[in-house]
Structure 1
């Protein structure tokens, strides 16, 4: 009997140690994931439909804090520029310094340095005679100065973007220094990640790498699982330990 008791006590101590370790590691991962995300990401609320259907009015987005040098074509960025107004704005980068951005070609597509760009994120419904609507209702040509970016909304029919400022000295472009963050996901409603479009991959510089948000979310989920599992392990192990001696006596 005493041997069985010592054995059960040993299992109990081991179970308590494993349970405590799981909870401790889970807390580190869970809290660390939140802190990491808070340092890297900033939430914004999008007030208008200028980025529909990618981001709709009232959506809460998570934007990764980045430097202007990290911006690539296709990125959806948050920026503030005095010419555009004092409030943060959300638009898509379609041209960087040195680019010639033109719309539209014979198929209604945007071209960057004479390279046609298919934009799957646009809602281009059927136009007259069964043809698709062009990437912009009005034709335009812009030369993007070095250190600047050219921005358009995904809802090209209503978005007030670089096309409105084509007569300005920078032909509607914005300094890279105006960029505050790159939008990675729609947090509410839970629409998920905003992927990097392959449309601009063939152009010099390619597209930007995915942000760390999936890894951060995974860290938080694993941490929560360890906390719950560790907290449940102790009571379950103790209950099983109390049952074993009784089963041995019956034999």
Structure 2
């Protein structure tokens, strides 16, 4: 009689412990899913506010970005742009579609090409440009010289042999430059195809000039990390409940 009673008490205790463990597991699972949703949806919402997606239309910026690449560009004001930045802009004189180029000179700069070593010159200083395609070739197949008007930017592609940029518009009143107000975003990273997904590299090529190098990277890494962490928590939290229940049933047997 006492043996039966002891076994019943142990069984009741086991059930109570299992129910308590089940409640704790469900709470942990729910908390993980809830936190994951906050991070996942919050990250997506934040990225949608900060970034604009674009598809690169041509190969004029190869090898930095290729035709067909999907990129994210941070929404900025043109006043924030610095030399070396890769920007998206829209100017009626350049056509209706958004254009993607690198800023090589800003208002007040004298930009020319090329010196005896084939380098770009900005305010009389040579600029080594490691981001160019075919760095053994001169920085431009055509010679040019221009002074950039105040409030404007001189644009060039990284693939200088094929890029239609400020060099082809030197005859206009702005010496081929684009108003800062035409800039709508700064490229921060490639997101597709996955094999090329990466942050857009910043360059120190213009660091010796007044104003220093390019702008600091935007929050793409932080936003991406929040989205990934949220997805992991959602999946882990959703899987925890069934796995824990199965483990409790096995222990009960």
Q: TM-score, normalised by structure 2?
A: 0.91
Deviates more, 1:139-148 or 1:17-26: 139-148
Write the deviation string for residues 159-197 of structure 1: whole angstroms up to 9, x where unpaired. 111111112121111110000111112222231221111
Q: 2:234 matched to 1:227?
A: yes
2:124 equivalent in structure 1: 114
2:22 equivalent in structure 1: 12
1:95 equivalent in structure 2: 105
Q: Please list, as runs of the form range in 1=range in 2, the aligned pairs for 1:1-251 lying within 5 A after superposition.
A: 1-124=11-134, 132-190=136-194, 191=196, 192-206=198-212, 207-246=214-253
Write the deviation string for residues 68-90 of structure 1: whole angstroms up to 9, x where unpaired. 11111111111111111222111
Q: For residues 68 and 215 of structure 1, what CA distance do their matches in structure 2 show?
A: 23
Q: CA deviation at 1:62?
A: 1.4
CA RMSD of aligned residues (A): 1.3
Q: CA deviation at 1:244?
A: 2.5
The total of aligned residue pairs comes to 240
Q: For residues 234 and 68 of structure 1, what CA distance do their matches in structure 2 show?
A: 51
Q: For residues 232 and 45 of structure 1, what CA distance do their matches in structure 2 show?
A: 36
Q: CA deviation at 1:43?
A: 1.4
Runs (4+) of structure 1 exceeding 3 A deviation are none
Write the deviation string for residues 221-243 of structure 1: whole angstroms up to 9, x where unpaired. 00000001101111111122222
SS in 2 for 1:181: strand
User: Unpaired runs of 5+ in structure 2?
Assistant: 1-10
User: Unpaired runs of 5+ in structure 1?
Assistant: 126-131, 247-251
Deviates more, 1:160-169 or 1:219-228: 160-169
